Structure 1
Amino acid sequence: METNSIIELINSHRSIRKFSDEQLTSIQVETIVEAGRWAPTSHHVQAYSIIVVKDKEKKEKLAKLAGNQTYVETCPVFFVICADYYRLKQASDKHQQTFEVGEQEQVIVGAVDAALVAQNMLLAARSFGLGGVMIGGIRNDSEAVSTLLELPEFTFPVMGLCLGYPAQNPDQKPRLPHEAVVHYEQYDQTKIDEAITEYDLLMKQYYHERTQGKRSETWSEQMAAFLSTPKRPQVGSFIKKQGFLK
């Protein structure tokens, strides 16, 4: 494969959850946010907003709401990236047009827009030598997060992003084999079982070495357990409350 500095940056991704005391400059924060703003967006709707959180007390509250993830509190800057149709409602009202966000498509568009923004921001941060981790736990209690951040109707938090200077150097977690996720011309089911078996052996070794033998479960075991129970069922009802999925 060919490579360059951008490819190497992307392919060296690791989640960083421990940060030094060094703070980000206001210029760095604004540059990272600006990189997020230039992410691709569906139909130019730009259905996202970025909440920049530096206040210690507010980060502490968000850490608890996200499942007591302490790195939300200890990172220098925490971002909450939201799906946002509030501005679009205002645009519709301005031109006396009906406002149709009741179908699932608009929820998907908002979530995809937010995810693209977050990834741009993380890559921009890493170009400065920073590290970070995405926080799905921000959806554990979407209503409380929205109240804390004073989010209006037609918005919902999609993910958080911790950023700071790394104070750890974790090994890179292996990804699924190429054959399991990349298909040419059509989906090839015949390679999936073998690829999962191969990956299970790799991840079992990874966890064994990472935890000095305390963990040794395979990827498929982990995923089967994870998907055996509903996850954040309250998210759907909150999204409806905010004006979507009517």
Structure 2
Amino acid sequence: MNDVISTILNHRSIRHFEDKPLTEEQIQTIVTCAQSAATSSFIQAYSIIGVKDKEKKKKLVELTGNQEYVEKNGHFFVFCADLYRHTIIGEKEQKNVNPSIESTEKFMVALIDTSLAAQNAVIASESLGLGICYIGGIRNNLEEVKKLLNIPDRVIPLFGLAVGYPAHITDKKPRLPFEHVYHEDQYEQDMEKYFRQLNEYDQSISKYYESRTNGQRKDRWTEQISNMLLKQNRMYMKEFIQKNKLDLH
């Protein structure tokens, strides 16, 4: 096993960081690695906002659901799906690119491009001995996030990424079984096998939580996820996307 694979397999979310900022060289390395990710048709439909201002970070803590590690980290990145740049390209070249930009396909391309770039940034960060935590709570209050960071239309903040020196290393959380995720030639739909795999995974997750919390928590994965899905959240997203001139047709 080489160092890259070892780094990837050793991933876990870090929520407590040392009070030590990243250097400019580290930030540039992480962003440059993000830019080296694959991009559909070379469209490069994303932007990354680094947040250093202390007051803005404090406000982001509030907007993301009071997650203090949004403020207390080595550096905070906001990854954005960005089709504003391509609107400007159309104006520069005097071509009407808006119908394409407003399509569901190009919106999906922007989401995928951003996610690929972010994961490259994560692997780069972890290879430098840093820890990371994705912050989906950025999407709790997108209008306020856009105002705070002066983000134009056709740019959607998708998630934050807290990066820093780990103050505490957590246990690695077990993932779904390989056989449950990987299918060959067709999607496996044997329900007996499907439920057996889920039941086995439930047991491993329950043991993980029990060990991590000294018996205070024993919930199963399917229990946890079904309860999460019962709660409808961020249901304003379609309206927000359309308001930001990504009409999705």
Give, in whole Å, the separation in 2 of the partners of 1:40 and 1:118: 11
Counterpart in the other structure of 1:32: 30
In the other structure, the counterpart of 1:62 is 60
> Corresponding residue for 1:157?
157
Superposed structure 1 runs of 4+ greater than 3 Å apart: none
2:57 partner SS: helix
SS in 2 for 1:34: helix
| 1:193 alignment partner, one of 183, 192, 195 | 195
Which residue matches 1:134?
134
Between the aligned partners of 2:103 and 2:113, the Cα distance in structure 1 is 16
- CA positional deviation for 1:158: 0.7
Residue 235 of structure 1 is matched in structure 2 by: 237
- Match 2:89 to one of 88, 91, 96: 91
**Residue ranges of structure 1 left out of the alignment (5+ in a row):** none
The match for 1:74 is 72
The answer to whether the 8 Å contact 2:30/2:121 transfers is yes
Contact 2:21–2:74, Cα closer than 8 Å, also in 1: yes
Alignment of 1:212-227 (within 5 A): 212-227=214-229
Counterpart-to-counterpart distance in 2, 1:102 and 1:78: 29
Partner of 1:144: 144
Q: Which amino acid aligns with 1:138?
A: I
Q: CA deviation at 1:213?
A: 1.1
- d(CA) in 2 for partners of 1:126 and 1:132? 7
Aligned length: 244
Instruction: Give the Cα–Cα distance (whole angstroms) in 2 for the partners of residues 235 and 212 of structure 1.
Output: 38
Output the aligned Cα RMSD.
1.0
TM-score, length basis structure 2: 0.95
Q: For the Cα contact (< 8 Å) 1:177–1:195, is it kept in 2?
A: yes
Give the secondary-structure state (helix, strand or coil) at the position aligned to 1:28. helix
Does the 8 Å CA contact 2:20/2:73 hold for their aligned counterparts? no
**Distance in 2 of aligned mates of 1:189 and 1:97:** 47
Per the alignment, in what secondary structure is the counterpart of residue 227 of structure 1?
A: helix
8 Å contact kept, 2:135–2:160: yes
Alpha-carbon separation, structure 2, partners of 1:43 and 1:66 = 33
2:39 corresponding residue in structure 1: 41
C-alpha separation in 1, matches of 2:54 and 2:94: 42
More off after superposition, 149-158 vs 106-115: 106-115
Identity percentage of aligned residues: 45
CA contact (8 A) 1:81 1:157 kept: yes
2:10 maps to which residue? 12
Gaps of 5+ in 2: none
Return the TM-score normalized by structure 1.
Answer: 0.96
- 1:179 and 1:192 in contact (8 A); partners too: no
- Cα distance, 1:193 vs structure 2: 1.3
Distance 2:107 2:194 in 1: 30
CA distance in 2, matches of 1:95, 1:192: 52
Residue pair 2:139, 2:157 contacting (<8 A) in 1 also: yes
